[in-house]
């Protein structure tokens, strides 16, 4: 199944979930009003909610044209974890040795953005960069998950872009600030459930800036794959439904060019992953409305 969160300009129902097939979307607010219209809660309900969705998906039926809805971030995560230097080709372009342990950092959950939403060029930096990534979405509460059972706790996968502010990322030994600017964690365009993906570690990934191919790789080049990451992370803390893991980016980031090619206002950045779809974000100057005290 492909589970999206969306709203429309022509009704006032507000954000709700939908099942995507071909070019239409079945509105779950209409077809499953008993289910929470929040994907994190749906995942937390486990197999009962999942089977209900499968019945609706199998039945099919009239949907809204996909072109008439606005896709939103599929869910609001409680954790947004990310991994640095996790592709062999990216480690090589950076002249770095392969890490012995996953380099884990967090993106603040306030950085989450819609799959086609605008991304801010920060007021305080001109070193905005892209990182096309496979995003793994946790489906079950878990701790100390052995690798052979890791697939059981993964609800599915999304396409993500781990936007990075390089000068802020490198200023100190900690990545958090440079990885967490508001709008810098777009993902989507929907959750593709894990059963639809034969092998999550054999998917082609491509990133384009204004139509120019900048990153092309495959998730088979991950140093620590999704299952390794679930095992590693869950040794330290509980993973919960809706937690995101941005699994790392392959070669071809702007910072690795000589001279570096950072993003500018007006640029369009598109990330595609085979079997998952694509997200596309326009870079805009950080609006004045970002300064506020409520």
Q: How far is the CB of 287 from Mg ion (least distance, A)?
A: 25
Of all residues in the shown chain, the one whose CB is closest to Mg ion is: 162
The answer to whether 148 and 237 have CB atoms below 8 angstroms apart is no
Cα–Cα distance list, 257 to 106, 122, 128, 129, 252 (Å): 25, 21, 13, 11, 8
What tokens appear for 108 in the block? 């603040």
Residues 161-220 that bind Mg ion (CB under 5 A): 162
Identity of the residue, 174 or 238, whose beta carbon is nearer to Mg ion in the bound complex: 174
Nearer to Mg ion, 162 or 225 (CB): 162
CB of 249 to Mg ion, least distance (A): 5
Closest approach of Mg ion to the CB of residue 162, in Å: 3
Our finding on whether 86 is near Mg ion (CB under 5 A) is: no
3-state secondary structure of 167: helix
Indicate the residue among 28 and 165 with the shorter CB distance to Mg ion.
Answer: 165
Instruction: Count residues near Mg ion (CB under 5 A).
Output: 3
Q: Which of 192, 128, 194, 139 is nearest to 161 (CA)?
A: 128
The minimum distance between CB 248 and Mg ion, in angstroms, equals 5
| 8 Å CB contact between 215 and 253 | yes
Give the C-alpha separation, 169 to 179, whole Å: 7
Q: 131 vs 225, which CB is nearer to Mg ion?
A: 131
Draw the binding track, 125-164, toward Mg ion (x: CB under 5 A; -: no contact).
------x------------------------------x--
Q: What is the maximum alpha-carbon separation in the chain?
A: 55
Closer by beta carbon to Mg ion, 207 or else 249:
249
- Rounded Cα gap, residues 168 and 40, in angstroms: 31
- Rounded to a whole number of angstroms, the minimum distance from the CB of residue 129 to Mg ion is 10
The torsion angle over the Cα atoms of residues 138, 142, 147 and 148, rounded to 10 degrees, is -100
Near Mg ion by CB under 5 A, which window of 123-131, 167-175, 183-191, 281-289?
A: 123-131
Q: How far is the CB of 187 from Mg ion (least distance, A)?
A: 12
Q: Can you spell out the DSSP letters for 17-31?
A: EEEEETTEEEEHHHH
**Contact pattern for Mg ion over residues 244 through 263, marking x by CB under 5 A:** -----x--------------
Q: What kind and span of H or E run contains 176?
A: helix 176-179
Q: How far is the CB of 100 from Mg ion (least distance, A)?
A: 18
276 contact partners, CB below 8 Å, separation of at least 6: 134, 157, 158, 159, 192, 197, 203
Closer by beta carbon to Mg ion, 40 or else 166: 166
List residues near Mg ion by CB under 5 A.
131, 162, 249
């Amino acid at each position: 199944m492909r589970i999206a969160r969306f709203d429309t300009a022509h009704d006032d129902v507000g954000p709700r979930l939908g099942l995507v097939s071909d070019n239409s979307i079945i509105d779950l607010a209409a077809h499953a009003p008993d289910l929470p219209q929040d994907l994190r809660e749906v995942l937390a309900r486990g197999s009962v909610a999942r089977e209900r969705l499968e019945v609706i998906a199998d039945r099919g039926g009239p949907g809204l044209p996909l072109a008439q809805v606005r896709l939103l971030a599929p869910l609001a995560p409680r954790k947004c974890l990310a991994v640095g230097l996790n592709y062999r080709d990216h480690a090589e372009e950076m002249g770095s040795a392969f890490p012995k342990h996953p380099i884990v950092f967090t993106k603040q959950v306030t950085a989450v953005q819609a799959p086609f939403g605008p991304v801010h060029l920060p007021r305080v930096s001109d070193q905005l960069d892209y990182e096309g990534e496979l995003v793994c979405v946790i489906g079950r509460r878990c701790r100390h998950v052995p690798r052979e059972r890791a697939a059981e706790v993964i609800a599915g996968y999304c396409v993500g872009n781990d936007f990075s502010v390089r000068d802020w990322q490198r200023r100190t030994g900690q990545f958090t600030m440079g990885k967490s600017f508001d709008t810098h964690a777009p993902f989507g365009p929907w959750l593709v459930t894990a059963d639809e993906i034969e092998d999550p570690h054999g998917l082609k990934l491509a990133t384009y800036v204004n139509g120019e191919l900048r990153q092309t790789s495959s998730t088979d080049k991950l140093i620590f794959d999704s299952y390794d990451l679930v095992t590693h992370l869950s040794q330290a803390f509980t993973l919960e439904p809706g937690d995101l893991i941005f699994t790392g980016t392959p070669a071809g980031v702007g910072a690795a060019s000589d001279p570096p090619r950072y993003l500018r206002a007006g640029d369009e950045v598109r990330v595609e992953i085979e079997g998952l779809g694509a997200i596309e974000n326009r870079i805009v100057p950080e609006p004045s409305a970002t300064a506020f005290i409520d």
